Structures are given as C-alpha cells and as structure tokens.
A = this chain, B = another copy of it.
Amino acid sequence: MIGIFDSGVGGMTVARAVEQALPEHGLIYFGDLARTPYGSKSPETISNYARQNTQFLIEQGAKLIIIACNTAASIASDTLRREFNLPIFEVITPAVAKAVATSKSGRIGVIGTRATINSNIYEEKIRHLAAKVKVFSQPCPLLAPLVEEGWLNKRETKMILRRYLSPLKQQQVDTLVLGCTHYPLLKELIQPRIGKRTKVIDSSHEVAAELKAFLAENPALASQLSPEKEKRYYVSDLTEATLATANLIFGRTIELSKVTI
C-alpha cells in the first residue's frame, strides 16, 4: 500500500493525483483533522504529529509514505527519514525540481502557510538546484480556511488572493509554486490574478509523477504495493464539511473512516 498523510483534507489532492497516475496500487490516506491545521503550530508539535501519522500508516500496511502536507514536509521529513526505514516522498522536492526546470527568467514565486514559508524550505531547495534563481515567498494563511469553507468562488476569496499575489506579480515571477495542498482547488482563481504568462506548479501532479518514475525503477517494491488495489481513507475527525470537501476534491463520493491514533 502507498501511505499518504496530511493535516486535513488538502492532501486529498495528492491522493487523487496518485490514484490517477498509479491506479493499480493500493492506497491508504490519513487526514489528521482532529489536530488540523498544522500551518500555525510549532516545529516540535508538527514533528510529533508527523511521527504518529507515519506510524499509523505503517501499522496499516504502508510500504512507502508520501507526506502530502507542505507544513509537515518542510518541518518533519528529515526526522521521519531518520526514524523510519522505508521510502519517504514529500510534495516539496518534485515541485521545486519542476519549478526550476520551468522558469526561464529565474524569478520564482512560492505561496504557502506561515509555517511553510517561515521554514524557508522552498527557497533553500530552489537555491540548492539553481543558485542564481530569485525566490519570492508569500505566506497565505487564510487560503486553507477559505478552501475548507468551500468559498471557492466568493468575491472575498478573490480579493484576498489579489492581496496575497500582487507582490509576486509586481516581482514578475514567471513560475509560481502552490506550496500548500489546498491551493490546487484555487488554481483557476490564481492563474488570472498572477497573470496568464506565469506557469503555476501543482505539487500533487509532480509528486505523483516522481513516485511513478521511482516505482518503474524499483519493481520489487512496486510488487509489494500491488496485491491490494483498495483505497482506504482515514481521518482522525469527521464532520459534514469534511465529507463535502472530500467529495469536491475527488469528484465522487468518498467513504471516510474515523480513527483515533
């Protein structure tokens, strides 16, 4: 099974992309809705939650892990790789690689939660690949709550997006990384506000493509994932609003099981 976790429902955009790219493999998703959001919490607390989530997925049969939460990926991926002996993917690295390959002007914008942006992980990883690239980062702490409310086409959402994006537009970034798994749901509002010439990078597609390439090169591991084709979706808390957002993300009715971890 492929194990995927997020602080909430946003990571389901990653699960959807993985389902589409690798329909032949089993998948377990865990959304930590009882403790969501991670974006405003401290590094110590976020690492602790990431560790518990990974342990749960392994107990459920996961043979590899995708950290489908930018906040947890930025804070806790090194910790998890040290502590757990299985391949750990995350949403940041493949998005960074794609952004660097895409940008022609060398001016890349990144949007994310306050914790992700403050961690400076995107800037560091981009500079590591391309030292001369200029990175412009913008924390957007209200976007995830707006998505969770389903305010995907409200005037206030558009205004808040314009406020967040206008500094990046002024800096004439030619590539914009969506550094939070909630943001793909706002992609159609983001594109016109950042400008149609700016390429918007959606990390859910990039991590799914990276995983697909990795499994093609590691058939032994791929065969361990294959036996069970079922998809299981767990959450640590369940409300009507969560179900509605999950169904919106997948475009079908999703069965969510509540577990205490």
19 chain-A/chain-B pairs, Cβ below 8 angstroms:
A34-B35, A34-B41, A35-B35, A40-B239, A40-B241, A42-B238, A45-B236, A45-B237, A114-B241, A141-B145, A141-B149, A142-B142, A142-B145, A142-B151, A155-B159, A156-B156, A156-B160, A156-B163, A159-B159
Binding site for B on A (CB under 8 A): 33-36, 40-42, 45, 114, 141-142, 145-146, 148-149, 151, 155-156, 159-160, 163, 236-239, 241, 258
- Which residues of the other chain, B, contact A42 by a CB distance below 8 angstroms? 237-239, 258
C-alpha spacing A149/B136, complex, angstroms: 21
Task: Give this chain's copy count.
Answer: 2
What are the residues of chain B within 8 A of A146 when measuring CB–CB? Answer: 142
In the complex, the chain B residue whose C-beta lies closest to that of A236 is: B45
Cα-based distance from A145 to B142 in the complex (angstroms): 7
Write the chain B residue with the least CB distance to A146: B142
- Shortest distance in angstroms between A132's beta carbon and chain B's nearest beta carbon? 31
- The SS class assigned to the A binding surface is loop
Closest to A148 in B: B40
In whole Å, how far is A106's beta carbon from the nearest beta carbon of chain B?
31
Chain B hits for A148, CB < 8 A: 40
Q: How many Å from the CB of A162 to the closest CB on chain B?
A: 10
Interface centre among A142, A146, A236, A258 (most CB of B within 10 A): A142
Residue of B nearest to A160 (CB): B156
Nearest-CB residue, chain B, relative to A115: B239
Q: Please measure, in the bound complex, the distance between the C-alpha atom of A40 and the C-alpha atom of B238, giving whole angstroms.
A: 9
Q: Within 8 Å CB of A160, what residues of B? A: 156
CB distance from A236 to the nearest CB of B (A): 8
Closest to A139 in B: B149
Q: With A and B bound together, what is the CA distance between A41 and B152 in angstroms? A: 21
Contact of A34 among B45, B156, B241 (CB under 8 A): B45
Please give, as numbers and ranges, the residues of chain B lying within 8 Å of A238 by CB-CB distance: 42
Whether B41 lies near A239 (C-beta < 8 A) is: yes
Beyond known contacts A45-B237, A114-B241, A145-B145: 11 more, CB 8 A cutoff: A33-B40, A36-B40, A40-B239, A40-B241, A42-B237, A42-B239, A142-B145, A142-B146, A155-B159, A156-B160, A156-B163
- Smallest CB–CB gap between A30 and chain B, Å? 15
Smallest CB separation, A221 vs chain B (Å): 35
A163 to B146 Cα, complex, angstroms: 14
The interface residues of chain B lying within 8 Å CB-to-CB of A236 are 45
